[in-house]
Amino acid sequence: MAAAREEEAGELGPRDFVYGEKDFVPQAAGWDTEPGSAPSRFDRALLEGWNDRMERGLFRYRLGPLPTRVLPGPMRLVAQLNVQRGTERRPPQAVRSLRQPFDPQAFNFTRIRPGEVLLRLRRAGGGPAAPDQLLVAINVSPLERGHVLLLPEPARGLPQALTAPLLHGGLEAALLSAHPGFRVGFNGLGGCASVNHLHLHAFYLGCPLLVESAPARPLGPPGGLSLLPGVPAPAFLFYAAGPAGLEALARDVCRAAEHLTDTGLAYNVLATRGDPPGGPGAGGERGLRVLLWARKPSFGAKAGAAFNVALCELAGYLPLPAAPLYQDITEAQALCAIRQHLLPEPQLLRLGQDLARLLAS
């Protein structure tokens, strides 16, 4: 029966999802309402396809509701137990360089089954700033319900180095969702990327994170780059109030990320609905926060590490592979594991000034 389901599912093709300005949700539902109670057209299409593929058996494991708790402490870390992702996911590729070229012999997204692709996102009227189309495919080892990959033209064989068109497309996808916990992220080479083939992650998480609301400190002119301290992993913060600012934001993030690579640093990126840089008390409606983490490169799993530190962990979301760890971990232990990958504060501040000058030039 399972083999028959997989064969049937393999014959499915992606649905075209054509969107325009009218499909953007300027203000997603707040956390004081039931997340997902009023899904957008995009949310419905993504989740209906995702649930269908789960029923057809295309995932490596069946995902039900996951035990989730907020760790005591000011960082409000969200711990979640996902044993099967820890045991069933495909082993990550060996990454040895921040500029490792694409290897067609290694696993890549040209090898996924046609049934794994849910949607083909296409901007009505096109436009030079985002990809002509962006494939939305299931992550077969999901973190949460609705966990997908955003793939720009897989046949081109691009390595995992963030591009402005891909990020722009991912940011538009974030604005298509009405769920406050729909996040889009990127793990770079040396930042726990598991596949060296250009892609973004997107997933739903039914909990707020501190990085959405914590106030930031300007590093340059108003409206430019900020530093977000007082969160699990201090990050450089970019912000756009709506669709009109996404092209410039994506370009700036990628210029900054390229500078990090040039200086021998790895990086991770997260886009999430959030308050303006000044925080919830600074006035203004919520928009899109984009966080860029500069970090020491990490190649391969670290012996004795309780968990790998990628974009989720840096943001304060801890998918954990074992029940004892989930039950016993403290905020102090989690922060210790996360922050050993980060830069010392003086180096981070110098880097922030360098980035502010770069982006102002």
Residues that are catalytic: 199
Helix (H) or strand (E) holding 356: helix 345-360
Strands 134-138, 148-151: pairing is antiparallel
The dihedral built from the CA positions of residue 238, 181, 199 and 169, taken in this order, carries a sign that is negative
Edge-to-edge strands, sheet with 15-19: 15-19, 117-123, 134-138, 148-151, 200-204, 182-187, 266-274, 287-295, 235-240, 226-228, 217-218
Q: How many CA atoms lie within 13 A of 228 on its CB side?
A: 31
Task: Please enumerate in sequence order all residues whose Cβ is within 8 A of that of 31, keeping only pairs 6 or more positions apart, or say none.
Answer: 180, 208
Q: Which secondary-structure segment (H or E) carries 256?
A: helix 246-262
130 and 152 Cβ atoms separated by less than 8 Å? no
Q: Is 114 helix (H, G, I), strand (E, B) or coil?
A: helix
